[in-house]
Structure 1
Amino acid sequence: MSDPTDPDDRLAALEARLAAKRAPQKVKDHAEEHYSQAQLAWRMVIELVAGLAIGFGIGYGLDYLLGTQPFMMVLFIFFGLAAGVLTMVRSAKEVQTKQEAAQAARDEGDESGD
């Protein structure tokens, strides 16, 4: 048998204990985080442009039908802008809620690990 004070055995035992205590951590790549932020930005831009386009389409169609050139188009462009901004704000709140939940989970994990 080996001596329990043997440095190699002690080092191996220490590494085994550390590995057992250490929780597997998912390492998030910086590029992955960058792409998720870019996807969020594109999502918000598309929501804003879609609101404007839908407002323009409805306004132009009503102007064509009612003969009120460009009154309805201008009015519905502003409605579309407001709808796009509201949708962007909802998306931002959704992302913020997810980030707060993830932070709370990380904080809880840190507290339970101590």
Structure 2
Amino acid sequence: MAEEPDQERLKALEERIAEAKRAQQPKPPKDEHYTAASQGWRMVIELVSGLGIGFGIGYGLDTVFGTMPFLLVLFTLLGFAAGVKTMLRTASEFQGGRETGQGPGDERD
């Protein structure tokens, strides 16, 4: 009979230890949190892809129409402008998401 209270206390102690271990486990990282390096690389890729797409369209149209430097320069500048605009939108998403608790891609009014 003296062992029964000890068994109950031991069981209660084991439950508390297990609960404390569960509380100490780190939570898995959320997908909304990006590192500064990944944000920077995303913006660089957006800028370079805008330039590349503009250059490709301009070169293709110049080849077809025979107006070699004109459309190439025009569409390269338009691609640069589109890349910068996309880059600024991404930067505002990250900054706004951090302030309001929203993740990238969430719509804000």
Instruction: Using structure 1 for the length normalisation, give the TM-score.
Output: 0.60
Does 2:92 match 1:96? Answer: no
**Uncovered stretches (5+) of structure 2, i.e. residues with no partner:** 1-23, 28-32, 102-109
Shift of 1:95: 0.4
If each structure's helix is expressed as a fraction of its own residues, which one has the higher value? 1
Distance 1:40 1:83 in 2: 18
Secondary structure of 2:91 counterpart = helix
Percentage of pairs with the same residue:
57
Distance 1:69 1:77 in 2: 13
Does 2:86 match 1:76? Answer: no
CA RMSD of aligned residues (A): 3.1
Instruction: Using structure 2 for the length normalisation, give the TM-score.
Output: 0.62
Q: What pairs up with 1:41-80 in 2 under 5 angstroms?
A: 41-80=40-79
**Uncovered stretches (5+) of structure 1, i.e. residues with no partner:** 1-23, 28-32, 103-114
